[in-house]
Amino acid sequence: MSSASPTRRAPFLALYSVLVFAFIYLPIVVLVVYSFNREGVGGFPPRHFTLNWYAQLLADGSIWDSVLNSLFVAAASVVLSLTLGLLAALALDRATFPGKALFRRFVLLPLILPGLITGLSLLMFAVFAGVQLSLITVFFGHGTALISVATTELFAGLQKMDCAQEEASLDLGATPWQTFWRVTLPNLKLSLIAAGLLIFTLSMDEIAVTFFLIGRDNTLPLEIWGRLRRGITPEINAVSTLIFAVSVALIVIWYHVRTRSLGTQAQELIERP
Amino acid sequence: MSASAANSPEQASNSTGALLEVHGVAKRFGSSDVLKNISLDIASGEFLTLLGESGSGKTTLLRLIAGFEQPTSGEIWMSGERLDTLPPYKRRVNTVFQQYALFPHLSVRDNVAYGLRVKNTPAVEISGRVEEALRMVKMQDFAGARPSKLSGGQQQRVALARALVNRPQLLLLDEPLSALDANLRMQMRSELKSLQREIGITFLFVTHDQEEAMALSDRVALLRNGALEQVASPREIYARPATAYTAQFIGQTNLLRGEILRGIATCGVLRWPLEEADGPAIFSLRPEAIRLCADGKRQTTEVKFNGAVRQQLYGGATELLEVECGPGQFLRVRLPASGPITGENEFVFSIADAIRVQE
Amino acid sequence: MYSRAYKSLVSVPPLLWVALFLLLPYVLMFAHSFWAVQQGVIVHHWNLNNYKTLFAKPLYVEVLFRTMRIAASVTCCSILLGYPLAYFLSFHARARKELLYQLVIVPLWVSYLVRGYAWKTILGSDGVLNGFLQYLHITHEPVAFLLYSPFAVVLMLTHIYTPFVFLPIYAALEHIPRPLVEASHDLGANSFQTFFRVILPLSMPGLLAGATFAFLLTLGDFLAPLLVGGPSGTMIANVVQSLFGAAFDWPLGAAISVFILMLTISLLFLSEILEKRWAYK
């Protein structure tokens, strides 16, 4: 029996919400539509459908090189951030040490700090250490900045975990090392996947930090950025549309992973934000 | 609790006393009929309890009167005016919620003053009435506290004050005592009863606890699967249950199933004369209506039977016996505690105490 | 339950890494802010000139204030768009609530660059919006201020940050127990009064979190101005960026960065205090 009040009609609010949705989605829709427009990016209405821009995109070597670079950096960042983030989350959950509160805030700082600051400070560090700028420095930048994402997500996952399970494991004779691999990590599976997906996406899209740490080889966002400085072409619409499609695909995959591994009952628990 | 004369509510000057009239109200959620054709009148100044199991529809009916749901069909009238078409904030009805629903960001005083403030009552009047309401529930010392600092019982009093300060014509209480522990429940029950008597506001109380309903109410409305099973005073509903369900839900009883044939009622080994039409019949016989037949004598208005005591549960003032009076036929008998009873004994009860009930 | 070895093993690596790659770089930046540039080379002459320049030079002060105004505008607009949407989803959406929620989240996963670029193509003189307006004969010439102006920066960043602001507000609204809303109606308050007396106060922590996020991220954004801001839409972060680029003056750039960093930390601190005060259980 439902005990919630029935939702009342609120026509103006509904209309307003529709308009806000439109505001959020229209630019992307326009972008996608014009990637198929023969006349290019501006003007209205789009008249001639073409796939030329996509063809041009496919033939564009430097874009695909930059995609590979981005993938390399993103993958490496995921590994680094998850590892250190997991350790940091465990430390915050289980250990006490002087300056712990400070450490927690510090780790979370790159999340809220403009990428400019993180990027510049790491640039100065690179110069100081005499390191040449390259994809490696970009990797260090992403990996470091995104530890905060991993820590937040994994810490939440640890809090939700029933620590009695670890106690049970130790009670049954497993060593802490075994317990970690057999009990802790599987329990964190969902958080690890969530964090991993998020870090991957953020790294693929990262510009601000990358801007200052990039060497000769471009990542995808910076390659696009460079072209923008030279002028707008619908090829950029095409690559943007592809990026959008991949992002949506990732969300859908994430959603399926989440609902499948938790089942419908527990799903109601996570539906609560 | 004390209440000043200034607290007397503005009741309808309706001399027949019907404050609230529920006409043929039904409520459907999706494909289930939670309430089916309920018609009920509540008199001004009475303490009426909606009693039933979970799923019986009692809370739904309460929410319909409060205004949080709309009836699928039927009407609700209060003091001669249509109620169900009004939104909750226009009804002269206030609710005490099951989980109290106190505003966590307001102090006790501001919680109680809320209903007065939203109607732009002058500030001077507000502080007087709030003070009075808090004194009525003995929470005047907690006026500045936040709800999170109060115990369950204290929060409940504040919720009560918050509702009463608005002088509603009808107060709805949604299982207000169910979250309290046993001792506190007893205490609050008694306080609620005397409070209602003193201020005279009509109370509509919802509970699943039949003992609570019997103790507090002027009348009890028993709901079952969305329909009214019986509406009567506690004594009436106990002594003359209309159906087998009522007889079993309220207090304890023995349900005797049998038939009437040519003026004789037969239920297992029990037989007695009954001038009623032939056919199947069910009788409710309260355990306390059966007594030991010490002298072996039986009046013509009584039924005597032999029974072997199979179990005896001591209860301080009384004992509850399980007596086998026939092959596979058991009766529960409640006797004043007098020591262990064993073996075969003779028992007797009045024919008048075997109340005929519907299925 | 956890041995000292375990605790050391989990604490030391992240602590070391953070010290080396976060703390040390910030310290370096801090140090740079006190140095100077002579003849194209950075020299370690400790001085406060950079900070003086930041607050004295009119150009920098003007850009700073413009940045604050833009950040405030973005924050306000994002709230004006995000709050009603969150309210609608939380209190008025029924069966499709979960789906609608996901739909609001989706843009967060879509590249910042992609969305910024979209606005660039829409707002330009030859862009989609101008084309649309001319097609409908509402205007006969391209409207100039749409692109390469502070207006464009605010528009683009509002677009980016509305979902960011939506999230914590929605979470806070969902946490409000519905019986409180019913109790408010029961006591005689209509929807309007209930919103201002009950719902809004209880949603303040979420609102504050979202506002802080939008404000601080806008403050340090240099990409939006480069995409759609034009000369009149430059923000303080662009100044920094150019000082590390063509206008080679790392110490000055570092000083401004330190200033932004201090501003961010102070605002975070303030926000946290306010959140604690307004969090009710």
Tell me, what CATH number does B125's domain have?
Answer: 3.40.50.300
Among C197, A2, C94, CA closest to B89: C197
Show which of B241, B268, B285 is a domain's final residue. B241
Q: Do C228 and C123 touch, CB atoms closer than 8 A?
A: yes
Note the helical H segments in chain A. 11-34, 52-59, 61-94, 100-112, 115-129, 135-145, 147-160, 164-171, 176-179, 185-187, 189-205, 208-213, 220-230, 234-271
Among A271, A240, A269, A219, CA closest to A54: A240
Cβ separation C257–A117 shorter than 8 A: yes
Note whether C109 contacts B: Cβ–Cβ < 8 A.
no
Q: Is the pLDDT of residue C212 over 90?
A: yes
Q: Is the pLDDT of residue A201 over 50?
A: yes
Show which of B241, B266, B298 is a domain's final residue. B241
| Domain total of chain B | 2
Q: Do B237 and B244 touch, CB atoms closer than 8 A?
A: no
Give the per-residue pLDDT at A140: 92
Give the per-residue pLDDT at C93: 87
This model's pTM is above 0.95: no
Give the per-residue pLDDT at B4: 41
From chain C, the residues in CB contact with B104 under 8 A are 202, 280-281
Nearest neighbour of C216 by CB, restricted to A112, A120, A123: A112
Arithmetic mean of pLDDT, B6-10: 42
Q: Which domain holds residue B159?
A: 5-241
C152-177 as b/e, with b when 16 or more CB fall inside 10 Å? bbbbbbbbbbbbbbbbbbbbbbbebe
Give the per-residue pLDDT at A266: 54
pLDDT band for position B59 (cuts 50, 70, 90):
very high
Give me chain A's average pLDDT, please.
84
Residue type for C215, please?
A: F
Element (H, E) at C109: helix C97-109
pLDDT band for position B9 (cuts 50, 70, 90):
very low
Strand pairing class (B344-350; B291-292):
antiparallel
Q: How far is C186 from chain B (nearest CA, A)?
A: 5
Q: How far is B226 from chain A (nearest CA, A)?
A: 12
Show which of B208, B241, B274 is a domain's final residue. B241
Q: Where are the domains of chain C?
A: 49-278
Q: Which residue has the tokens 């989240």?
A: C105
Is B246 inside any structural domain?
A: no
Cβ separation B97–C281 shorter than 8 A: no
Give the per-residue pLDDT at A8: 60
Q: What percent of chain B has pLDDT over 90?
A: 78
* Whether residue B199 sits in one domain with residue B111: yes
**Residues 6+ positions from A179 with CB-CB distance below 8 Å:** A166, A169, A170
DSSP E strands: which ranges in chain B?
A: 18-29, 32-43, 47-51, 73-78, 81-82, 93-96, 170-174, 202-207, 219-224, 227-232, 254-261, 264-267, 270-273, 279-285, 291-292, 302-314, 318-326, 329-336, 344-350, 355-357
* Whether residue B126 sits in one domain with residue B55: yes
> Nearest residue of B to residue C185 by CA position?
B89
Q: Which residue has the tokens 């009040």?
A: A5
Handedness of CA C203, C208, C213, C214 (dihedral sign): positive
* Whether residue B287 sits in one domain with residue B153: no
Arithmetic mean of pLDDT, C204-211: 94
> Which chain B residues touch C if contact means CB-CB below 8 Å?
66-68, 87-90, 93-95, 97, 99, 101-105, 114-115, 118-119, 146, 148, 162-163, 166
From chain B, the residues in CB contact with C186 under 8 A are 66-67, 88-89, 93-95, 163
Give the per-residue pLDDT at B265: 92
Beta bridge partners of B306: B346
Give the per-residue pLDDT at C80: 96
> Nearest residue of B to residue C178 by CA position?
B101
Q: Tokens at residue B158, please?
A: 């504040």
Cβ separation C120–A232 shorter than 8 A: yes
Beta bridge partners of B271: B266
Q: Is the pLDDT of residue A264 over 90?
A: no
| Residue A152: HSE in the Cβ half-sphere, 13 Å Cα cutoff | 17
Among C168, C165, C147, CA closest to C156: C147
From chain B, the residues in CB contact with A6 under 8 A are 68-70
Nearest neighbour of C81 by CB, restricted to A23, A204, A250: A23
φ, ψ of residue C150 to 5 degrees: the values are -60, -35
Give the per-residue pLDDT at B7: 39
pLDDT tens track for B217-249: 999 999 999 999 999 999 999 999 999 999 999
* Whether residue B308 sits in one domain with residue B197: no
Residue A229 or residue C9, greater confidence: C9
**3-class SS of residue A256:** helix
Residues across chain C = 281
Note whether A27 contacts C: Cβ–Cβ < 8 A.
yes
**Residues 6+ positions from A6 with CB-CB distance below 8 Å:** B68, B69, B70
From chain C, the residues in CB contact with B110 under 8 A are none
pLDDT tens track for A114-148: 889 999 999 999 988 888 898 999 999 999 999 99
d(CA A64, CA A242): 12
Secondary structure letter of residue C229 according to DSSP? I
Q: How far is B118 from chain C (nearest CA, A)?
A: 6
* Whether residue B266 sits in one domain with residue B202: no
Q: Do A181 and A71 touch, CB atoms closer than 8 A?
A: no
Arithmetic mean of pLDDT, A192-197: 90
Give the per-residue pLDDT at A262: 63
**3-class SS of residue C138:** coil
Residues across chain A = 273
pLDDT band for position B11 (cuts 50, 70, 90):
very low
* Whether residue B264 sits in one domain with residue B215: no
CATH 1.10.3720.10 fits C49-278, yes or no: yes
d(CA B232, CA B221): 7
Q: What percent of chain C has pLDDT over 70?
A: 99
Give me chain C's average pLDDT, please.
88
Cβ separation C179–B101 shorter than 8 A: yes
Give me chain B's average pLDDT, please.
90
ipTM entry:
0.85
Note whether A3 contacts B: Cβ–Cβ < 8 A.
yes
Chains that touch A (3 or more CB pairs under 8 A): B, C
From chain B, the residues in CB contact with A10 under 8 A are none
Handedness of CA A163, A169, A173, A175 (dihedral sign): negative
d(CA B11, CA C148): 69
Note whether C183 contacts B: Cβ–Cβ < 8 A.
yes
B2-37 as b/e, with b when 16 or more CB fall inside 10 Å? ebeeebebebbeeeeebbbbbbebbbeeeeebbbee
Q: Do C108 and A22 touch, CB atoms closer than 8 A?
A: no
Give the per-residue pLDDT at B14: 43
Tell which CATH architecture fits domain A68-231.
Orthogonal Bundle (1.10)
Q: Is the pLDDT of residue B12 over 70?
A: no
Residue B120 backbone zone (phi > 0: left; psi -120 to 50: alpha; other: beta) = left
Cis, peptide link before residue C179, omega less than 30° from 0:
no
Q: Is the pLDDT of residue C251 over 70?
A: yes
From chain A, the residues in CB contact with B69 under 8 A are 5-6
CATH number at residue B334: 2.40.50.140
> What does each C-alpha distance from B271 to A202, B144, B321 come to in angstroms?
86, 68, 21
Residue C25 or residue C36, greater confidence: C25
Residue type for B184, please?
A: L
